[in-house]
Structure formats: structure tokens, C-alpha cells
Amino acid sequence: MNDSGLTEQERAIYQWQMWVPDFGESGQAKLKGSSVLVSRVGGVGGLVAYQLAAAGIGKLVVAHAGNVKPSDLNRQLLMTHAQIGKPRIESIERRLKELNPRLEVIAVGENVSPANAEDLVSQVDLVVDCAPLFPERFAMNDACVRQAKAMFECAMYELEAQITTLVPGKTPCLRCLYPEEPPTWTREFPVFGAVSGTVACMAAMETIKVIAGLGEPLLGKLLKFDLRDMSFHTLKISRRMDCGVCGADRRNDDRQY
Amino acid sequence: MSVRLRLPANMRSLASDQSEIAIDGTTVGECLQNLAQQFPELESRLLDAEGNLQGFINVFVDNVSIRELRQLRTPVSEGSEVLIVAALAGG
């Protein structure tokens, strides 16, 4: 153990990323001291969790219900063929611990809902929203606004994806961006694992940036991209002062993160 | 005048699988109405019964949200890019 709180083993494992000059040992120590909720942990969330585990995050709370199905395996890279028919959360926990046995994993075999969102969010510093249904996304958003915690919002459909970093009081919340859920959205959607994995890696990097104070996160900006023609748009987004979730509570303004 | 209107992936099947469409109009609202005339199934995906933008849609003109401008009355220029961004939840 040295002054940064990293062990010799950790210094060896994370050596190459600590060569990033404005990250270094202090950034690595911040990752080690941080906790993140990822839900769900499928095509997007699985890659977010795996990258954060690889990078040396200290604690992950991962939430995902159900058993592994064959149709999970084109994109949900924490699931394995041998695990078909068995709980997804077992596969998720095992794969994360195989990669990083130092990682503290809180494995929750249920999806986020209004009933458990407050408790799950209260266990972590930051949240990565990877849910396939809007009620789950809105439940995490609402809890993050109430608890003044940043949420990384990443979503995809077909070859298209969007990502932004939501910080209560400083940026729009998810309800500012989309006050209503689209009635035509369904839980099953067209997806290549390479598309969900692309936006997942971006979300993991955003998380690392915010924790370590590295670079410029997507604050007040929505990155929207379409891998069909490799078009990327960085779009300015702003709060709705009449937002039913974050607009009414002006006490959230100008908090320090 | 004609703008380049870019549709999100989950609406392209309602517009003959086109991702980008040349549409005439002097405001964003006119462009969307003209789009809906060509592809009627898109109307309710974009606009509510009162003709307002749906709460799960954002529209950007040359990367600026029309909420920052004049909403559906935002004027467009020849060659402007009108980008429709739909709420997604694929995870």
C-alpha cells in the first residue's frame, strides 16, 4: 500500500491507464473509492459494468432480473451459453468477479422500479441508466434528482444511440429531455451487440471522467450517433424550468458535484 | 425553401425507409406538417392532437434545439438540417 491507497498489485494492473497524465494514481484512487449502480446489466449495462470493473471501480451495485435466454447472447456479454436458463444475475456477478476479484459487487436479482429505486441509488455515488423500459429509467432519474446524484443516460435502438451526463441542479434531468415516454416503445428492439457496446463504452468513460475529474463530460450535451452512416451530432440540451421532477425543486440548483 | 430532415431509426419504416428527406417549409412546424402529409403515419409520432411537439421528441435545427429558439415557429433556411431525436430506451 502506498500514499494513494493503492496496493502494489493494483499499481501493476492499472499501470497503463495511470499513464494518462491527468488521471494518474490520484484518479485511480478515486475510482477505487467510488461506487456505481448499473441497471440493467444486459447489452449496454453489461459492457458498462465490465469496463468499470476492468478500470478498477471499487464497488458496483448491479440489478437485473430473469434467467439467461438464447436471445441474450448476441449482445449481453456477461451472459454465457452454459448459463442459459439460470439467473442472469449469477452470471453477471461471476463474470465481474472473474475479471476483478478485488471488486465489491452487490448483486440484485430484480429490475429497478419505483419501489426499490431510492434504496438502490442510496447505496452508490453514481448511476448508469441502461434500462430497456422508460418506467425503470424514470424511476432512476427521479431517485437521482432527489438524492442529488449524477446519472449517465445511455440508450440505443437499431444502429442509433444517445448518451448524456445528467447532474441534478446543473443539467437537464431525463424528464426535462423527455417529459413523456413514447407509447410505441417495446421491451424488444433491434440491436447488434456492437452498437449497444459502443454506447456502453462511452458511458463507462463518462463515468470514469466524472469520478476522476478528467476531460469534459457531456454536461448539457446529448451525443446522438448513427452507426449506419457514422453520423455524430453533439446537441445542446437545457433544463425545463417547468419540469415535474427537477424544475419545481429549485433547492437543487448549483449544488457541488 | 428546402431543408434536409433527418429521421430517427425507429421512424424510418414509416417513411419508405428513408433516413434523410428533402422537405419544403419556412418554419419547423411547416416542415413537419409537410412531412406528415407525405407520410401520414408519422404525424402522431411527432405531434399531439393540438399540433404540439410530442413530449418524447426533440427537434434540432443545425444542432440547436427548437426549445431554445421559437419552438415550431422556428424559421429554417435553405439547406438547414432539421434533426428529429426520439426518446430511446434500448439497454
A179, A189, A235 member nearest B90 (Cβ): A189
Question: Residue B73 domain-assigned?
Answer: yes
Indicate the pLDDT class of residue B51, thresholds 50, 70 and 90. very high
Residue B52 DSSP one-character state:
P
Block residue for cell numbers 469496463: A51
Question: Residue A254 domain-assigned?
Answer: no
Question: Residue B52 domain-assigned?
Answer: yes
The pLDDT score that the predictor gives to residue A106 is: 98
- Scored b (16 or more CB within 10 A) or e, A178-194 reads bbebbeebeeebebebe
Question: How many domains does one find in chain B?
Answer: 1
Q: 3-class DSSP state for residue A121?
A: helix
Contact B90 A157 (CB under 8 A): yes
Q: How many residues appear in chain B?
A: 91
Name the phi and psi angles at A207, rounded to 5. Answer: -60, -45
How many Cβ atoms from other residues are within 10 Å of residue A85's Cβ? 9
> Comparing C-alpha atoms, which of A62, A76, A75, A151 is closest to residue A109?
A62
Contact B19 A184 (CB under 8 A): no
Which residues of A are less than 8 Å from B88 in CB distance? Answer: 155-157, 160-162
The pLDDT score that the predictor gives to residue A1 is: 63
A133, A181, A237 member nearest B65 (Cβ): A237
Alpha-carbon distance of B29 to B17, in angstroms, equals 22
Question: How many domains does one find in chain A?
Answer: 1
Indicate the pLDDT class of residue B1, thresholds 50, 70 and 90. confident
To the nearest whole angstrom, how far is the Cα of A11 from the nearest Cα of chain B?
Answer: 33
Whether A197 and chain B come into contact, CB under 8 Å, resolves to: no
Question: Residue A28 domain-assigned?
Answer: yes
Where residue B44 sits, what CATH number does that domain have? 3.10.20.30
Alpha-carbon distance of A99 to A121, in angstroms, equals 24
Cβ within 8 Å of B, A 36-55: 40, 42-45
Set of cell numbers at residue A127: 448511476
Sheet (strand B20-24) strand order: B20-24, B2-6, B81-86, B57-61, B64-65
Which residues of A are less than 8 Å from B68 in CB distance? Answer: 236, 238
Contact A160 B55 (CB under 8 A): no
Contact B90 A137 (CB under 8 A): no
State the residue range of the domain holding B54.
Answer: 2-86
Instruction: Outline where DSSP puts E strands in A30-114.
Output: 35-39, 59-63, 104-108
Please tell me which residue of chain A has the smallest CA distance to B81.
A233
Question: Residue A2 domain-assigned?
Answer: no
The pLDDT score that the predictor gives to residue A100 is: 98
The pLDDT score that the predictor gives to residue A123 is: 98
Q: What percent of chain B has pLDDT over 70?
A: 100
Which residues of A are less than 8 Å from B10 in CB distance? Answer: 157-158, 160, 184
Contact A159 B89 (CB under 8 A): no
Question: Residue B17 domain-assigned?
Answer: yes
Burial class (CB in 10 A: 0-12, 13-18, 19+), B67: middle
State the residue range of the domain holding A77.
Answer: 8-247
To the nearest whole angstrom, how far is the Cα of A48 from the nearest Cα of chain B?
Answer: 11
Name the phi and psi angles at A217, rounded to 5. Answer: -65, 165
Question: Residue A61 domain-assigned?
Answer: yes
Where residue A86 sits, what CATH number does that domain have? 3.40.50.720
Q: Which residues pair with B14 in a beta bridge?
A: none
The pLDDT score that the predictor gives to residue A240 is: 94
When pLDDT is averaged across residues B42-59 and rounded to a whole number, the result is: 97
Question: Residue B91 domain-assigned?
Answer: no
Contact A226 B65 (CB under 8 A): no
Q: How far apart are the first and last CA of chain B?
A: 39
The complex scores an ipTM of 0.96
Question: Residue A255 domain-assigned?
Answer: no
Q: Which residues pair with A87 in a beta bridge?
A: A67
Question: Residue B70 domain-assigned?
Answer: yes
Please tell me which residue of chain A has the smallest CA distance to B61.
A235
- Can you list the residues of chain A whose pLDDT is less than 50? 254-257
